[in-house]
Amino acid sequence: MNYDFHFFICTNERPPGNPKGCCKSKNSEALIEVFKKEVAAVGKSQKVRVQKSGCLGVCGSGPSLVVYPEGSWYGKIQPSDVQEIVQSHIQEGKPVERFLIPSK
Ligand code: FES
């Protein structure tokens, strides 16, 4: 299966008190469902894959995700940001700059 976009959303979990923190404790699992719903709403479920991933190595920017094929790294994403990302990134081909992780 060839996808236009592949979203990997970190749902890694660490024990409470771990200095690195983790995306799961920042509600990243909710993002999976919201992304799937918004992708479906624009009719792209067959063209856009949304799935969980392990730690992406940018824990301080969590909840984090990376979008391929181009490798756009998003950080500190909340469910309320998802509709804008789907509209701009998927529908218009433009990543939402203000959510991109600067060092990536
Ligand atoms: S725990 Fe999510 S990027 Fe490391």
Within a domain: 71 = yes
46-72 pLDDT, tens digit per residue, is 999 999 999 999 999 999 999 999 999
Contact 60, 104 (CB under 8 A): no
pLDDT at position 103: 77
Full domain range(s) for residue 19 = 5-99
Q: What CATH number should be reported for the domain holding residue 61? A: 3.40.30.10
Task: Give distance in angstroms: CA of 95 to centre of ligand 1.
Answer: 21
Strands (E), the chain: 5-10, 48-53, 65-68, 72-74
Within a domain: 31 = yes
Contact 56, 66 (CB under 8 A): yes
3-24 pLDDT, tens digit per residue, is 999 999 999 999 999 999 999 9
Cβ-based neighbour number of residue 81 at 10 Å: 17
Best residue for ligand 1 mutational test, from 22, 25, 73 (most atoms within 8 Å of Cβ): 22
- Report, in angstroms and rounded to the nearest whole number, the Rg of the chain calculated over CA atoms: 13
Q: pTM (2 decimals)?
A: 0.95
Task: Give distance in angstroms: CA of 58 to centre of ligand 1.
Answer: 6
Split into its structural domains, the chain has a count of 1
Please state, in angstroms and rounded to a whole number, the distance separating the CA atoms of residues 66 and 81: 15
